[in-house]
């Protein structure tokens, strides 16, 4: 998979890709991540990437021209399956959307900044609009990092234990069950006995029951469909 990220703040976005699982995925060439500084595509002498909005009102709007230049250049080099725009008024990210995106070969992620992009960018280029929740961030960069992390860990070979992503919370619309490791007793608090039984079908059943119970208590909305 190849991910091209268009942003006015590449430096804000780079560090999550320089540690742990994302770093290893890039090193193993399971994913390529490229950053494009929108300012490099500015067309005037001031390197402008934004301007005042028509009709008045507070806040700047990202210009269509630098974005068009950047996206057109990329599209001239290869086919893209999606152009994703990170915006608080997009569709709220969930595991289902993340799974779908992870199946793509090449995607562009456009990070919104200031008040966002000129509407014509959305109309002309964007194929998917994503929000990471009902709160406002200063820009789409941190949201793009969240999306990339959630997507990249699903690419086959990225996680050490191949089954690990399948047992995550949300993967089957259930939260994950409680987990334990050493010591067996800590300050008098014990680990559930079943986990030492060696009876793996029973352990699996216990985990499913716990996952269901936890979901019912914390996120009953997930059980509705």
Q: Which residue ranges make up the site for ligand 6GU (CB under 6 A)?
A: 86-88, 112, 131-133, 135-137, 139-140, 143
**What is the length of the chain?**
225
Tokens (6 digits) for 136: 């406002």
Q: How far is the CB of 111 from ligand 6GU (least distance, A)?
A: 8
160 is annotated as contributing to ligand binding: no
Considering all CA atoms of the chain, what is the largest pairwise distance in Å, rounded to the nearest integer?
A: 72
Place of tokens 């067309």: 43
Residue number with CB closer to ligand 6GU (131 or 210): 131
> CA separation (Å) from 25 to 21, 97, 141?
6, 20, 20
50 is annotated as contributing to ligand binding: no
Q: How far is the CB of 140 from ligand 6GU (least distance, A)?
A: 4
Tokens (6 digits) for 223: 């059980």
90 is annotated as contributing to ligand binding: no
Sign of CA dihedral 165, 166, 169, 170: positive
Residue number with CB closer to ligand 6GU (66 or 88): 88
136 is annotated as contributing to ligand binding: yes
Which H or E run contains 60? strand 60-62
Q: How far is the CB of 150 from ligand 6GU (least distance, A)?
A: 13
Residue number with CB closer to ligand 6GU (139 or 207): 139
Residue number with CB closer to ligand 6GU (133 or 178): 133
55 is annotated as contributing to ligand binding: no
In this structure, the number of other CB atoms found within 10 A of the CB of residue 102 comes to 19
Per the annotation, where are the binding residues for S-adenosyl-L-methionine?
Answer: 112, 132-137
């Amino acid at each position: 998979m190849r991910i091209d990220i268009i942003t006015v703040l590449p430096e804000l976005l780079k560090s999550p890709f320089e540690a742990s699982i994302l770093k290893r995925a890039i090193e193993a060439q399971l994913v390529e991540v490229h950053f494009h500084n929108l300012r490099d595509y500015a067309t005037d002498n001031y390197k402008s990437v934004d301007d005042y909005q028509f009709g008045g009102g507070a806040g700047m709007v990202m210009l269509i021209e630098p974005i068009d230049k950047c996206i057109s250049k990329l599209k001239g080099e290869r086919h893209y399956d999606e152009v994703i725009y990170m915006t608080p008024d997009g569709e709220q990210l969930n595991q289902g959307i993340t799974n779908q995106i992870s199946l793509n070969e090449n995607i562009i992620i456009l990070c919104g900044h200031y008040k966002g992009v000129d509407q014509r960018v959305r109309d002309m280029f964007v194929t998917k609009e994503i929000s990471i929740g009902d709160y406002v961030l200063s820009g789409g960069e941190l949201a793009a990092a969240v999306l990339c992390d959630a997507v990249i860990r699903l690419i086959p070979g990225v996680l050490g234990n191949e089954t690990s992503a399948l047992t995550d919370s949300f993967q089957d619309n259930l939260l994950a069950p409680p987990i334990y490791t050493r010591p067996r007793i800590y300050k008098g608090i014990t680990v559930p006995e079943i986990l030492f039984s060696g009876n793996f079908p029973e352990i699996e059943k216990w985990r499913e029951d716990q996952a269901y119970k936890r979901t019912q208590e914390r996120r009953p909305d997930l059980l509705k469909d």
